[in-house]
């Protein structure tokens, strides 16, 4: 069994037993946010880290998933279990609408700007159709997820939502791992390193980029739907605003780009840090900014990247030395 | 070397920001954070407390609404300091010191929920004001109320009609949740009825046409929608409905557009004072001829000073407080002494609602919702600086005559004072035509 797989098992095992040990609602809520952001960052990292497509505006895809799911549940009485997947499918359609014309471009700045505009366009459409979405007045009235066996979601049961998002996170890690190790993943890596070289080796660059973008859009949409039924209130500024994307980018950079563990580590690190920094009172966000700046300066490969490239080999070397002497 | 320089610069920046902290003012009075048990008013030496009542509060201390969130906090801190100075809350012959613990919601629902959970689950506060201002955060936090049935939840402001609608959907579930402010339909009524009154008085052109220039927030849109609905029901036509991001300061394109449409009345709503100042100056510069009705921004400090004569004659709402009354002047002096800032409406709201809560605790003889505080708070008839606080059947404060003041005022020719022109029962001066 590979060490990485063992670490993964331990990590998810710990997450699985955590709510059985810690019942405090606040801590469970923070943990749910950590896992939710881990799903966001893993989805985005698939496109940005592994395929090299620095697309912004991904919060729009999550937001579309959330709004579609919420509106279907409120207006049509559809079960949230179905609503989140219809919402994710709609996110994928938006992703297709953007990616098919845009990802033919090779230069990253153009993709970044055009995807950022996508995010703004979606936000403005949602904000300016209050008769459908209630705009900035807030869409609420979504249901909790219906119960599954012993798991009851009513009343915002933190433990049940914990396990639901944990299942999503495990699925997402599995999907990302599978994609990265598949021929599609190898094509993504080739594109990231050099689109021209990849094309010369027979990789269909545009098709690969669009495929991975659509997969990522669907994944973002599912978690957007989760957010909608967990928080039960949606506003364009809180869900579709650019600050959400900034947070996702920061988490991936801090955790480690183009790795499977890095985005998850970044999501956990920054979410927990934000809450921990409440002890700084009014200077909380100042401290938060300083931490991000320092981590980008001193850990340019991110936490996981630094661990993997510098600390783990150093520890391996030391243990080999102690064995031989 | 480069990294060391960057680190050094970062440290210098932090030190600069810390040095800009207004916590220590020149006259030697120190404003301590209440969450470290600070109490700027020195209690009398002889007061000893028998216990502590922990009061939590969650509001937007950072983000777009920080100006209002911090103002509400300042009002609450003053109320806490004054109660502690007079011996705290008295229950059953015992004196309880009030400890205020404040957390930042950043204006985001998930952060507001986290902050509220922390105060309730970790800090174990006895009473909570959450969330203080932002409707989307309030809607998210409302679902925590049933999980903590022993704690009374109260907002300070927050106008979304979604909140009383959610309460009405299950009053028993939200029995310990209170919205200590009116809803946007009350705002809409004040704007619409005020506009119709002004037309009757010959203050506007004769055509029943209206335009809206609003900030793209729940506050802006819900107030605008409420006013539009009532005006439409009275035969008015909306010729334009312009929305700008919160904090925008360039309204030239909207103003030129409205000039072409020439509405009789333009209703504008901005929370950041910078937007209000910019809008007023730009309207004055272009020489627009419609009658302006402003929502909320003329209440902000600096508005009159920065707009100068451009704001003379402006009609605005809400005049909830009479800024010239002896009570308000005294309150303004106390806020200035404590925080070294001019008085604003959010401070008054924070002060009044907090006092109302403490008064209800004393009346109930308990801070537990299930042991009587919910009922006592629900039955409040508190006379504050904003007016008389009474909750309706949806746990929402009532606005109107005899309740919370929601009047239309006009900035006088001196461009500094405002007098109430509507409703007539509260009229302090007759309206005059804007330039």
In a domain, A16, yes or no: yes
Tell me which chain B residues have a C-beta less than 8 angstroms from the C-beta of A231. Answer: 109-110, 113, 140
| Cα–Cα dist A298/A305, whole Å | 12
Residue B31: the pLDDT is 31
Distance CA B198, CA B345 (A): 24
pLDDT at residue B17 tops 60: no
Residue A307 CA to residue A304 CA, distance in Å, equals 5
| Shortest Cα distance, chain B CAs vs residue A55, angstroms | 24
- pLDDT per position as a tens digit, A14-47: 999 999 999 999 999 999 999 999 999 999 999 9
For residue B36, pLDDT over 50 is answered with no
Residue B9: its pLDDT value, please? Answer: 66
User: Are the beta carbons of B248 and B260 closer than 8 angstroms?
Assistant: no
Q: Does residue B396 fall inside a structural domain?
A: no
Mean pLDDT of B295-302: 86
Average pLDDT over residues B90-113: 94
- CB nearest to B147's CB, from A155, A235, A290: A155
CB-CB under 8 Å, B139 with A290: no
B187 neighbourhood in chain A, CB within 8 Å = none
Q: Can you tell me the mean pLDDT for B389-411?
A: 90
**Do the Cβ atoms of B78 and B101 come closer than 8 Å?**
no
Please tell me whether residues B177 and B219 are part of one structural domain.
no
Mean pLDDT along residues B243-247: 87
Distance, CA of B373 to CA of A117 (rounded, Å): 50
Q: Number of folded domains in chain A?
A: 1
- Would you state the pLDDT for residue B221? 87
Per-residue pLDDT band for B6 (boundaries 50, 70, 90) equals low
Inter-chain touch A237–B6, beta carbons under 8 Å: no
Helix or strand or coil: residue B73?
Answer: helix
Q: What distance in Å separates residue B53's CA from the closest CA in chain A? A: 20
- Paired tokens of B289: 């001829």
Q: Do B218 and B163 fall within a single domain?
A: no
Residues B194 and B316 sit within 8 Å (Cβ to Cβ): no
- On whether any CB of chain A is under 8 Å from the CB of B223, the answer is no
Interface membership of B118 toward A (CB under 8 Å):
yes
pLDDT at position A255 = 93
Instruction: Tell me the mean pLDDT in the region B115-125.
Output: 95
pLDDT for A105 equals 78
**Looking at the domain assignment, is residue B227 inside a domain?**
yes
Kindly state whether residues B359 and B297 are assigned to the same domain: no
User: In sequence order, what E strands does B50-141 have?
Assistant: 51-59, 89-91, 94-104, 127-130
Task: Identify the band that residue B323 occupies on the pLDDT scale cut at 50, 70 and 90.
Answer: confident
Q: How confident is the model at residue B45 (pLDDT cuts 50, 70, 90)?
A: low
Instruction: Give a yes or no: residue A53 inside a domain.
Output: yes
Q: Is A213 left (phi over 0), alpha (psi -120 to 50) or beta?
A: alpha
Residues of B in contact with A24 (CB under 8 A): 121-122
Exposure on the CB side of residue B68, measured as CA atoms within 13 A = 23
Q: Work out the widest C-alpha separation in chain B, in whole angstroms.
A: 73
Residue B316 lies in a domain: yes
Spell out the residues 6+ positions from residue B20 whose beta carbon is closer than 8 angstroms to its own: none
Residue B28 reports pLDDT greater than 70: no
Distances B108 to A136, A137, B73 between C-alpha atoms, Å: 12, 14, 18
- To test the contact with chain A by mutation, choose from B33, B123, B216 the residue with the greatest count of A C-beta atoms within 10 A, namely B216
Residue B259 belongs to some domain of the structure: yes
B101/B150 same-domain check: yes
pLDDT digits 0-9 by tens, B252-277: 999 999 999 999 999 999 988 899 99
Does position B228 have pLDDT exceeding 90, yes or no? yes
- Show residues of chain B in contact with A120, CB under 8 Å: none
Please name which of B234, B305, B231, B319 lies closest in space to residue B267, comparing C-alpha atoms.
B231
Q: What is the pLDDT of residue B39?
A: 42
Residues B272 and B342 in one domain: no
Q: What is the pLDDT of residue B184?
A: 85
Half-sphere exposure of A83 (CA within 13 A, CB side): 27
Distance CA B115, CA B102 (A): 9
A284 contacts in chain B (CB < 8 Å): 104
pLDDT at A2: 73
Alpha-carbon span A125 to A53, nearest angstrom:
25
Residue that is written with structure tokens 């903590």 in the block: B148
First to last CA, chain B: 63
CA B217 – CA B221 distance, rounded (Å): 6
A77 vs chain B: nearest CA distance in angstroms?
17
Q: Is residue A173 assigned to a domain?
A: yes
Q: Determine how many CB atoms are found less than 10 A away from the CB of residue B395.
A: 24
Same domain, B264 and B413: yes
Residues of A with Cβ-Cβ distance to B120 under 8 angstroms: 25-26
User: What is the domain range of residue B243?
Assistant: 185-320+404-426
Residue of chain A whose alpha carbon sits nearest to that of B15: A286
Q: Using CB atoms, which residue from A25, A238, A281 is nearest to B109? A: A238
Q: What is the pLDDT of residue A1?
A: 64
Q: Would you say residue B4 lies in a domain?
A: no
Contact, B178 vs B152, CB < 8 A? yes
How many angstroms separate the most distant Cα atoms in chain A? 76
In this prediction the pTM is 0.85
Contact A164, A147 (CB under 8 A): no
Contact between B365 and B92 under an 8 Å Cβ cutoff? The reply is yes
Q: Which of A237, A282, A298 sits opposite B3 (nearest CB)?
A: A298
Q: Which residues of B touch A286 (CB under 8 A)?
A: 14, 17
On chain B, the residues whose CB falls within 8 A of the CB of A242 are: none
> Which residues of chain A fall below pLDDT 70?
1, 312, 314-325
Interatomic CA distance for residues B323 and A247, integer angstroms:
42
User: How far is the C-alpha of B71 from the C-alpha of B350, rounded, in Å?
Assistant: 8
Cβ A136–B221 below 8 Å, yes or no?
yes
Of B14, B117, B139, Cβ closest to residue A29: B117
Instruction: List chain B residues with CB under 8 Å of A154.
Output: none
List, in sequence order, the alpha helices (H) in chain A.
3-21, 25-45, 58-76, 80-102, 108-127, 130-133, 158-181, 183-193, 195-200, 205-231, 236-240, 242-255, 261-276, 284-298, 302-306, 312-324
State whether A231 and B225 contact (CB < 8 Å).
no
Contact B110 A33 (CB under 8 A): yes
Pair (B32, B163) in one structural domain? yes
Average pLDDT over residues B314-340: 89
**Angle in degrees, 0-180, between the axes of helices A80-102 and A205-231, rounded to the nearest 10:** 150
In a domain, B15, yes or no: no
For residue A18, give the DSSP letter: H
CA-nearest residue to B102 within chain A is A281
Residue B357 sits in a domain of what CATH number?
3.40.50.2300
**Residue A11 falls inside a structural domain:** yes
Q: A295 lies in a domain?
A: no
Cβ-contact A169, A32 below 8 angstroms: no
* Residues comprising chain B, all counted: 435
Examine the domain organization and report whether B281 and B379 are in the same domain.
no
With H, G, I as helix, E, B as strand and everything else as coil, classify residue B188: helix
CA B350 vs CA A83, A97, B133, B281: distances in Å: 40, 48, 10, 30
- Residue from B207, B285, B223, B209 nearest B252 by CA: B285
Interface test with B, best of A120, A135, A237 (most B CBs within 10 A): A237
For A271, the closest chain B residue by CA position comes to B111
Question: Is there a single domain that holds both residue B337 and residue B410?
Answer: no
Q: B108 or B301, which is more confident?
A: B108
* B124 at A interface, C-beta within 8 A: no
Whether B197 and B63 map to the same domain: the answer is no
Q: How many residues does chain A have?
A: 325
Whether residue B10 is contained in a domain is answered as no
A311 inside domain: no
Give A231→chain B minimum CA distance, Å: 6
Distance CA B30, CA B38 (A): 9
The answer to whether position A322 is within a domain reads no
Give the mean model confidence (pLDDT) for residues B216-220: 85
Same domain, B409 and B269: yes
Q: Rounded to an integer, what distance in angstroms lies between the CA atom of residue B145 and that of residue A159?
A: 18
The answer on pLDDT for B23 being more than 50 is no
pLDDT of residue A149: 82
Kindly state whether B226 is in contact with chain A, defined as any CB-CB distance less than 8 angstroms: no
Q: Which of B6, B225, B243 sits opposite A128 (nearest CB)?
A: B243
Query: What domain count does chain B have?
Result: 2
> pLDDT grade, residue B183 (50/70/90)?
confident
Q: Count of CB contacts below 8 A, A vs B?
A: 109
Judge: A275–B114 Cβ closer than 8 Å, yes or no. Answer: yes
**A30, A140, A283 member nearest B162 (Cβ):** A140
Q: Do B162 and A281 touch (CB under 8 A)?
A: no
pLDDT tens per residue, range B367-379: 999 999 999 999 9
Helix (H) or strand (E) holding B11: helix B2-19
The CA distance from B298 to the nearest CA of chain A, in Å, is 23
- Identify all chain A residues contacting B65, using CB atoms and an 8 Å cutoff: none
Neighbours of A233 (CB within 10 A): 30
Nearest to A233 among B118, B136, B147 (CB): B136
**Calpha distance B37→B143 (Å, rounded):** 29
Please name the helix (run of DSSP H) or strand (run of DSSP E) that holds residue B113, with its range, or none: helix B109-117
CB B127 within 8 A of CB A39: no
Mutation choice for B interface testing from A235, A241, A273, A290 by most B CBs within 10 A = A235
In this complex, which of A231, A275, A297 lies closest to B140 when CB atoms are compared?
Answer: A231
Write out the H or E segment, with its range, that includes residue B19: helix B2-19
Q: Does some domain include residue A145?
A: yes
Tell me the C-alpha distance between A1 and B411, whole Å: 77
What whole-number percentage of chain B has pLDDT above 90?
A: 64
Does the residue B432 lie in any domain? no
CB contact under 8 A, A231 and B103: no
């Amino acid at each position: 069994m590979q060490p990485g797989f063992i670490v993964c098992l331990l990590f998810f095992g710990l997450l699985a037993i955590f709510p059985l040990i810690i019942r405090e609602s606040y801590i469970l809520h923070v943990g749910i946010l950590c896992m939710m952001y881990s799903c966001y960052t893993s989805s985005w990292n698939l496109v940005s880290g592994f395929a090299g497509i620095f697309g912004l505006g991904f919060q729009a895809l999550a937001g579309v998933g959330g709004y579609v799911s919420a509106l279907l549940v409120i207006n049509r009485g559809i079960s949230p279990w179905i609503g989140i997947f219809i919402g994710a499918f709609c996110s994928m359609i938006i992703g297709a609408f953007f990616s098919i014309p845009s990802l033919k471009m090779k230069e990253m700045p153009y993709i970044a700007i055009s995807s950022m505009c996508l995010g703004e366009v979606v936000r403005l459409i949602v904000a300016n159709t209050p008769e459908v979405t209630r705009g900035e007045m807030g869409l609420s009235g979504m249901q909790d997820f219906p119960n599954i066996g012993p798991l009851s979601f009513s009343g915002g049961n933190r433990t049940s939502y914990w396990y639901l998002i944990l299942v999503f996170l495990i699925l997402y890690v599995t999907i990302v791992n599978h994609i990265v190790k598949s021929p599609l993943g190898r094509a993504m890596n080739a594109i990231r390193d050099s689109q021209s070289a990849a094309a010369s080796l027979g990789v269909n660059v545009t098709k690969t980029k669009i495929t991975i973008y659509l997969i990522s859009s669907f994944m973002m949409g599912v978690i957007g739907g989760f957010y909608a039924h967990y928080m039960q209130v949606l506003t364009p500024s809180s869900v579709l605003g650019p600050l959400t994307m900034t947070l996702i980018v920061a988490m991936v950079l801090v955790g480690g780009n183009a790795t499977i563990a890095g985005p998850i580590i970044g999501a956990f690190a920054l979410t927990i840090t934000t809450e921990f920094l409440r002890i700084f009172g009014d200077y909380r966000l100042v401290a938060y900014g300083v931490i991000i700046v320092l981590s980008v300066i001193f850990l340019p490969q991110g936490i996981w990247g630094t661990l993997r490239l510098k600390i783990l080999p150093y520890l391996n070397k030391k243990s080999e030395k102690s064995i031989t002497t | 070397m480069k990294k060391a320089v960057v680190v050094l610069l970062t440290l210098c920046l932090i030190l600069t920001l810390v040095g800009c902290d207004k916590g220590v003012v020149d006259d030697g009075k120190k404003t301590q954070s209440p969450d470290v048990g600070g109490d700027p008013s020195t209690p009398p030496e002889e007061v000893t407390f028998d216990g502590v009542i922990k009061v939590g509060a969650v509001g937007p201390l950072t983000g777009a609404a920080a100006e209002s969130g911090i103002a509400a906090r300042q009002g609450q801190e003053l109320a806490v300091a004054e109660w502690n100075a007079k011996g705290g809350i008295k229950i059953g012959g015992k004196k309880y010191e009030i400890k205020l613990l404040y957390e930042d919601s950043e204006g985001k629902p998930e952060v507001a929920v986290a902050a509220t959970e922390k105060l309730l689950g970790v800090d174990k506060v006895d009473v909570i004001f959450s969330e203080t201002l932002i409707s989307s955060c309030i809607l998210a936090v409302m679902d925590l109320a049933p999980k903590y049935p022993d704690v009374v939840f109260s907002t300070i402001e927050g106008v979304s009609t979604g909140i009383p609608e959610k309460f009405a959907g299950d009053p028993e579930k939200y029995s310990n949740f209170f919205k200590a402010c009116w809803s946007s339909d009350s705002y809409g009524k004040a704007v619409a009825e005020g506009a119709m009154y002004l037309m009757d008085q010959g203050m506007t052109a004769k055509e029943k046409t209206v335009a809206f220039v609003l900030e793209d927030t729940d506050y802006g849109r819900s107030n605008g929608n409420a006013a539009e609905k009532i005006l439409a029901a009275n035969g008015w036509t909306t010729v334009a409905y312009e929305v700008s991001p919160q904090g925008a300061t360039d309204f030239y394109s909207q103003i030129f557009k409205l000039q072409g449409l020439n509405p009789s009345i333009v209703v504008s709503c901005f929370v950041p004072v910078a937007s209000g100042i910019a809008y007023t100056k730009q309207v004055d510069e272009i020489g627009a001829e419609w009658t302006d009705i402003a929502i909320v921004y003329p209440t902000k400090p600096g508005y009159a000073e920065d707009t100068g004569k451009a704001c003379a004659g402006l009609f605005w709402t809400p005049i909830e407080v009479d800024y010239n009354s002896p009570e308000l002047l005294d309150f303004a002096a106390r806020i200035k002494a404590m925080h070294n800032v001019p008085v604003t409406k959010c401070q008054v709201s924070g002060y009044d609602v907090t006092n109302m809560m403490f008064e209800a605790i004393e009346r109930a003889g308990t801070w537990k919702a299930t042991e009587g505080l919910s009922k006592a708070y629900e039955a409040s008839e508190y006379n504050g600086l904003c007016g008389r606080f009474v909750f309706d059947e949806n746990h929402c404060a009532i606005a109107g005559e005899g309740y919370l003041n929601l009047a239309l005022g006009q900035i006088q020719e001196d461009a500094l004072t405002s007098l109430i022109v509507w409703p007539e029962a509260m009229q302090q001066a007759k309206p005059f035509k804007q330039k």
